């Protein structure tokens, strides 16, 4: 038996306990929990085969009461002795996509982001469209290309057409961008015609991840009318390997910045709440932005309520992104499109000028939130490097 | 042993042999083939456990050479004696969703439909947007709400706002519509960064189904800018239970109506082809339209090539819809939005005026194509009845 050491100030203390899927030495992937710099093998530690699965889906499908009970058991275990064979150094494991993605929806819930993009894409019109403050605008993305952090991103090719080009051309995207977001994972869904009220959020949503919605702006700009983004986004969406339980985010709950006009009743919460999560975006190792989730206009619970109010069912593994997180300050913007103002105001990154991503560039997004023990809990990171187009 | 009777002129002759998933008397769903008015239990007839699965996915994943070989074996079997226990009357079986849907993409490939919708949704602008003739416009829909024919459709609720309303209201959709489409099912996908050339279509796409993309036009009109349709579509998409193999559609191949300008090289086929498939739309038992798939501007192979050209992977069970099939004539339009010209020109259906769907209405879409034996092969039907909002 052994005890798990948790370094002082670790963002993976007992108030976090995020779940992931790991393997050791090419072995079978299975569910683990991050504790300090260790990974606890849950099937080995708890003797429960639901954690021997290569994804979190079977455990998530067991529902809220089990999520609470297992979290309590893990907390108790971590304080005492655990079998040696159940503990691995995080440096010794490979991390995999933590859950099978059912449907993937991406929202657009930051007023600052939506306003900036509106100014850039539709310079002659009101930046916010008439529907934006009445409903959380969102669309479905490609579930099959949700990738775990660390997966290289090959620069996508596609059609683009500048405003003065006579015809579109085909080639590698010249405006490859990121979107720094949070993603929320549905643990237990609902059948058809069973909308989820905002106040029921925590009984259905299992956890949250960091999400990078890679975006080819030139492809997107040409294709997106009238049915929305498609190939400009569908080549890759990266997520962090650790799913932070919603149960660990209680201390991060804060009021929303405020909604005016008041949303329709199906979007109202008894106590509307956001999350005080700070993201950091590093470009080739240099911090370029600190997107603040606390500034988001629409709440995670409102997004879920909206997504199901028409009778659409939801499933274990459904993932929804918040949309780019941008704050009011320039250095709080979560996309390079906004940081470089459409490419017109280059950034200096490690001494080089940058607007959009060059081949070989690497982006790392990290995030932290207040934890229950007075410190901060961590989301880990979502990392991706750009490879040249094939 | 028994022989399977095929009535003269049956649309389910030996040149069709569509696959589905059926059960008898509440038993376990498994794969069958429709022959005349019978269903042949493939696990029982061929002694192959891949057909004991409750979906076509394991068989589809085995790939093109297996699809060819199994079709030949079934053809041979159907001409001779088969075990009694392997044959069921189609009236005695329940039909299920034939495959697990991975990602669902819906295109917009009919020039007549896109032009009509453009005139209705954007009356002050050119009906076709500048990108439309350069790429098959499409977007991702909700895979989790793809339903088998016969599933009742509860009228969705959501936000809508008329042009003169001061604010949006919430309630049941007042403009519930259909879209008559074909859907194409990917049998074997490709990993990331492996685009599928149009000429490789038949090695990747397993079959086709009828598809009804139920659409709440009032919800859609309010929500769809700038990220495309979401709740106006995500409540339900119905498909026919029989998957007609692409191998059965060789005789239905015809040239495309013509593409001008010439598409970019990645969309070019050595011999561009469409499909001579006739759909029939019945509203409460009365035929209201005959949408002709032969009029589609973009081909099924071009849609697949476009969907993967940016490096997006594809998976067994990916489903993509053609978009509404509309021909040049009024009675060839595949959506009630177009048939009633935005509700301004009601149809008479069974002696009653109709613009959009009323509670209790039922829509049945059928389809046929030329078969290899000189007759016509059938897609069966996709049926749905509208229930009142909850």
pLDDT digit string (tens) for A167-215? 999 999 999 999 999 999 999 999 999 999 999 999 999 999 999 999 9
CATH top-level class for B104-387? alpha beta
Contact A201, A300 (CB under 8 A): yes
Residues A222-235 have a mean pLDDT of 96
Catalytic residue among A112, A113, A204, A306: A113
Binding site annotation covers B106?
A: yes
Partner-chain residue, chosen from B142, B229, B236, that has the shortest CB–CB distance to A227 = B229
Looking at chain A from residue 80 to 139, which residues have their Cβ under 8 Å from any Cβ of chain B? 102-103, 105, 108, 118, 121-122, 129-131, 134-135, 137-139
Q: Name residues whose C-beta falls within 8 Å of residue A352's C-beta, 6 or more positions apart in sequence.
A: none
Inter-chain contact B170–A235, Cβ cutoff 8 Å? no
Average per-residue pLDDT for chain A: 97
Over residues A322-336, the mean pLDDT reads 98
Would you say B48 is a known binding-site residue?
no
B270 touches chain A (CB under 8 A): no
d(CA B14, CA B37): 12
State which residue of chain A sits closest to B232, comparing Cα positions: A310
Question: Is A232 within 8 Å of A303 (Cβ atoms)?
Answer: no
User: B262 to chain A: which residues are within 8 Å by CB?
Assistant: none
Beta-carbon contacts of A258 under 8 Å, excluding residues fewer than 6 positions away, are none
Domain boundaries, chain A: 19-96, 104-387
CB B69 within 8 A of CB B104: no
Bridging pattern class, strands A104-107 and A319-321: parallel
Q: Residue A244 above 90 pLDDT?
A: yes
CA angle B305, B309, B310 (to 5 degrees): 150
Q: What CATH architecture applies to the domain B19-96?
A: Roll (2.30)
Sorted by sequence, the CB contacts under 8 Å of residue A217 that are 6+ apart come out as A173, A175, A176, A177, A232, A337, A356
Does B192 contact A145 at a Cβ distance shorter than 8 Å?
yes
The C-alpha angle A30, A35, A38, rounded to 5 degrees, equals: 70
Q: Which of B88, B113, B204, B306 is catalytic?
A: B113
Per-position pLDDT tens, chain B of length 390? 999 999 999 999 999 999 999 999 999 999 999 999 999 999 999 999 999 999 999 999 999 999 999 999 999 999 899 999 999 999 999 999 999 999 999 999 999 999 999 999 889 999 999 999 999 999 999 999 999 999 999 999 999 998 889 999 999 999 999 999 999 999 999 999 999 999 999 999 999 999 999 999 999 999 999 999 999 999 999 999 999 999 999 999 999 999 999 999 999 999 999 999 999 999 999 999 999 999 999 999 999 999 999 999 999 999 999 999 999 999 999 999 999 999 999 999 999 999 999 999 999 999 999 999 999 999 999 999 999 998
* Chain A residues lying within 8 Å of B189, measured CB to CB: 144
Cα distance between residue B95 and residue B148, in whole Å: 8
Q: What's the pLDDT at B79?
A: 86
pLDDT score of B296: 98
Q: What is the C-alpha separation between A387 and A327, in angstroms, rounded?
A: 30
What is the residue-wise DSSP string for A366-386? EEEEE-TTSSEEEEEEEEEEE
* 3 state DSSP class of A204: helix
- Which helix (H) or strand (E) element contains residue A94? strand A93-96
For residue A330, what is the DSSP state?
Answer: G
Identify which of B207, B211, B152 has the alpha carbon closest to the alpha carbon of residue B382. Answer: B211
CA distances from A209 to A18, A120, B126 (A): 10, 28, 42
To the query of whether residue B113 is one of the catalytic residues in this protein, the response is: yes
**DSSP 3-state of B361:** coil
Model pLDDT, residue B260:
97
Q: How many CB atoms are closer than 10 A to CB A174?
A: 16
Q: Which of A143, A156, A313 sits opposite B311 (nearest CB)?
A: A156
Domains B19-96 and B104-387 fall in the same CATH topology = no
**Option in B141, B227, B313 nearest A108 (CB):** B227
| Residue A254 confidence (pLDDT) above 90 | yes
Could you give the CA distance from residue B338 to residue A110 in angstroms, rounded to a whole number? Answer: 36
């Amino acid at each position: 038996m052994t005890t798990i050491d948790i370094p002082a100030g670790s963002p993976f203390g007992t108030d976090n306990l995020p779940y992931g899927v790991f393997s050791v030495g090419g072995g079978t992937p299975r569910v683990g929990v991050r504790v300090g710099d260790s990974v606890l093998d849950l099937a080995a530690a708890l003797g429960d085969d639901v954690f021997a699965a290569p994804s979190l889906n079977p455990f998530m499908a067991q529902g809220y009461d089990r999520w609470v009970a297992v979290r309590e058991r893990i907390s108790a275990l971590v304080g005492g002795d655990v079998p040696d064979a159940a503990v691995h150094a995080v440096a010794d494991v490979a991390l995999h996509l933590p859950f099978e993605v059912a449907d993937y929806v991406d929202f657009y819930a930051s007023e600052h982001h939506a306003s900036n993009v509106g100014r850039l894409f539709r310079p002659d019109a009101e930046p916010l469209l008439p529907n934006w403050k009445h409903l959380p605008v969102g669309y479905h993305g490609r579930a099959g290309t949700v990738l775990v952090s660390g997966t290289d991103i090959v620069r996508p090719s596609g059609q683009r057409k500048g405003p003065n080009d006579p015809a579109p051309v085909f080639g590698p995207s010249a405006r490859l961008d990121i979107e720094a977001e949070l993603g929320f994972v549905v643990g237990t869904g609902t059948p058809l015609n069973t909308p989820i009220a905002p106040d029921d959020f925590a009984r259905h949503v299992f956890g949250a991840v960091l999400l990078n919605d890679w975006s080819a702006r030139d492809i997107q700009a040409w294709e997106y009318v009238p049915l929305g983004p498609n190939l400009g986004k569908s080549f890759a969406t990266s997520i962090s390997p650790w799913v932070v339980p919603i149960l660990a985010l209680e201390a991060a709950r804060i009021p929303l910045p405020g909604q005016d006009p008041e949303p329709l009743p199906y979007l109202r919460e008894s106590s509307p709440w956001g999350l005080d999560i700070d993201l950091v975006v590093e470009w080739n190792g240099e911090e370029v932005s600190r997107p603040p989730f606390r500034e988001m206009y629409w709440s995670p619970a409102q997004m879920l309520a909206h997504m199901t109010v028409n009778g659409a069912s939801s499933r274990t593994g459904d993932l929804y992104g918040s949309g780019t997180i941008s704050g009011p300050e320039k250095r709080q913007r979560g996309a390079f499109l906004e940081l470089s103002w459409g490419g017109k105001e280059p950034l200096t990154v490690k001494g080089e000028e940058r607007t959009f991503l060059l081949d070989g560039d690497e982006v790392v997004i990290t995030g932290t939130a207040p934890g229950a023990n007075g410190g901060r809990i961590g989301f880990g990171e979502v990392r991706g490097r750009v490879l040249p187009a094939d």
